[in-house]
Chain A
Amino acid sequence: GNSVTQMEGPVTLSEEAFLTINCTYTATGYPSLFWYVQYPGEGLQLLLKATKADDKGSNKGFEATYRKETTSFHLEKGSVQVSDSAVYFCALSDRTSGTYKYIFGTGTRLKVLA
């Protein structure tokens, strides 16, 4: 079945450091890939997405490239801020497998220190 694997957290960085959060997936078809962010006490918000191989999603300085050959969708940011502290979820939707549900990873908590 389809699945998403994320690196375990927490990830603790100093402000202005470079961020990478790894995400790999298993899918039977051609999934769309997403990164969602969750701030304390809130629901999930879409951060970025990519719908086909080699697409790059970007938003608010975050980027992720859909790599079919390595089945990965790693999240990166060149210079993190304290306000980026949150939990980040990688997710996929694989319509070609006959379902419209979205599958999420377990999340990676990011802490950015001033």
Chain B
Amino acid sequence: DTGVSQDPRHKITKRGQNVTFRCDPISEHNRLYWYRQTLGQGPEFLTYFQNEAQLEKSRLLSDRFSAERPKGSFSTLEIQRTEQGDSAMYLCASSLARQGIWGNTIYFGEGSWLTVV
């Protein structure tokens, strides 16, 4: 396994610009998650996919945020018209969900830092 990889690792953008983050999960992992983490806080759930289907979205995910997983492999998280409050680390995680198995471990990438200036 090469692990969960995220790109870019760091992004500085001006307020009002759009940004896109990419996540490549561990191969064969069918579930993919996006979280947001600010300094001194734990990860906050944004959304998750089972294969290509987006099954749940947090109320934190405003209409400026959109996530896709078009072929059930990599995923993208786009933020439109960025605001300073969007500055955070965006974490991607993946897991292999199997029927009847509880408590699957989710594996995190190293995160993508976003700074909006």
Contact = CB atoms under 8 A, between A and B. Distances in A.
| Chain A interface extent, by class | 20 to 34
Nearest to A90: B42
B45 A43 contact: no
A36 B105 CA distance: 10
Contacts of A44: 43, 91, 93, 108
A111 interface: no
A72 B49 CA distance: 29
B56 A99 contact: yes
B43 A51 contact: no
Contact of B111 (A43, A51, A101, A104): A43
A45 B42 contact: no
B103 interface: yes
Given A50-B103, A104-B42, 8 more contacts: A32-B103, A34-B103, A43-B91, A46-B106, A89-B42, A103-B45, A106-B40, A107-B41
